[in-house]
Amino acid sequence: MDNKKQVSIKFNFVMNAILTMSIFIFPLITFPYISRILHPEGTGKVSFATSIVSYFAMIAQLGIPTYGIRACAKVRDNKKELSKTVHEIFTINIVMSTITYVLFVIALCVIPKLSTDKVLMIIVSLTIFFNTIGMSWLFGALEKYKYITIQSILFKFIALIAMFVLIHQQSDYVIYGGISIFASSASNVCNFIYAHKFVDFHQKQRYEYRKHLKPIFVFFAMSCATTIYTNLDTVMLGFINGDAEVGFYNAAVKIKSILVCVVTSLGTVLLPRASYYVEHKMMDEFDRITCKAINFVFLAAVPMMVYFMLFAREGISFLSGDAYEPATIPMIIIMPTLLTIGLTNIMGIQVLIPLGKEKKVLYSEVIGAVVDFVINMLLIPRMASAGAAIGTLIAECMVWFVQYYVLRKRVIKAYRNIQYWKIVIAVIFGAIVSFLTKNLVTGYFLTLVVSAIVFFGIYALTLFILKEKFFMEIVNETVLPVLYKLKGCEKNE
């Protein structure tokens, strides 16, 4: 039984890794084109609208995206109970989405900054509707990562074509906003149809909405705190410094967001499994996957953080153009959040929430939001996007500190098992050699390709030579079996 579950986790991780790669490749192809067509002002308008709508989406969703996974994962083996749970959560979601749209229309009418781009705001707000009918929390609980991945890639590919066909001038930023919403939300229509395979929407039971309200509102408070300090920078920049500064900051944040998806990809697929382990009192398994997840974050986040700090200017210029060069400093400042976000994703989402300690996550995120707001108020008027980046970095560090303090007895073993010195040596060797390649090649694209191959190649080789424990486990379980199969095929031939 355990082996089957372990295979399932690996498969889910592979599917989520493919999904993450699509998230990386999509903006890698489109953003260089979009940023040059729309300029900082155009991309800034869309980013500002997205950030504003995210607050309304937060209200509509309450804490359902995370709570729904935990609640459904516990009863996923019983279709009747699963259907009942989905009915209850979905109904709450619909009611809140309706209330949210009323609030959104009022805000659109009374706030001048929002009404100047009313069409864009309305288009971006469609994400609220799509998120509601999509019930992504159900498919997360059922661990349907193959389905999620295929759907996401399909609609991203359609959106990719649409961007090159429809966007040709700076005034097309409204179209860009619409296509972006299509890419991220259109699959929710298919989700609603596909959900009927797992949920009986026609069954009638005595529904218990009240039992979900307390945990949902705790998760909602968590979502509020997270959304505030992850979008506060963009909103405050928009009001204080204007759309162009938002565009610069967005260029740096977009790269960081792509990399965060890679770092948190393992934690994403472990939440339903961790909830399952806790529900069935399998705490040894729970601790084992937690240790591996934390080790994975260090192994993946540290090299990416260092590489993109060293090649920040090349990354920004290649993806966005030379006009976005002011985004270089914010990007360097914000890169260390790859590590802190990766760790808090594991400790908060995978450990504290399955253990039923979501209030602790809430406390950490409230502290992060308060710290972010205070630092933004002090630094954004003076330092603009660089000040916003500093606020985000310090806020994320505070969130990590609080969660680590709460979980120190449970996770201290995981942190002690990490072979830090081997990771540091591997990163140093990779950084030195890759930095030398700057003088050997010309052009942003070629510099990034060559330096990335050198940096991560030397990083992996050094870990292999030093026999870093977790890296060798990955090699032994994934790379070597493939090589043995290929060798066997050659012998047969």
User: For 321-343, how does the pLDDT look when each residue is reduced to its tens digit (9 = 90+)?
Assistant: 777 788 888 899 999 999 999 89
> How far apart are the C-alpha atoms of 360 and 367, rounded to whole Å?
11
**pTM metric for this prediction:** 0.67
Q: Which residue has the tokens 């890698």?
A: 28
The amino acid at residue 118 is K
| pLDDT for the residue numbered 6 | 43
| pLDDT for the residue numbered 484 | 54
Query: Which parts of the chain have pLDDT scores under 70?
Result: 1-25, 27-28, 203, 226-231, 242-243, 265-282, 477-493
Q: 158 near 127, Cβ under 8 Å?
A: no
Q: 19 near 152, Cβ under 8 Å?
A: yes
Angle at 203 between CA 201 and CA 206, to 5 degrees: 115
User: Residue ranges of the domains in the chain?
Assistant: 2-418, 422-493
| pLDDT for the residue numbered 291 | 81
- What is the 8-class DSSP label of residue 418? S
| pLDDT for the residue numbered 5 | 44
> How far apart are the C-alpha atoms of 175 and 119, rounded to whole Å?
10
> How far apart are the C-alpha atoms of 156 and 180, rounded to whole Å?
9
Q: What is the distance in angstroms between the CA of the first residue and the CA of the last residue of the chain?
A: 36
Tokens of 101: 């749209």
| pLDDT for the residue numbered 491 | 47
> How far apart are the C-alpha atoms of 466 and 463, rounded to whole Å?
5
**Angle between helix 126-134 and helix 79-110 axes, rounded to 10 deg:** 170
| pLDDT for the residue numbered 3 | 39
Tokens of 412: 């201290």
| pLDDT for the residue numbered 137 | 78
| pLDDT for the residue numbered 485 | 57
Q: Which helix (H) or strand (E) holds 289?
A: helix 283-310
Tokens of 464: 């292999």
Tokens of 322: 């030379």
pLDDT tens digits for range 350-362: 778 777 787 888 8
- What is the 8-class DSSP label of residue 197? G
H-state helical runs in 417-468: 420-436, 444-465
The amino acid at residue 219 is F
Q: 316 near 251, Cβ under 8 Å?
A: yes
Q: Of the candidates 346, 354, 397, which has an alpha carbon nearest to the alpha carbon of residue 375?
A: 397
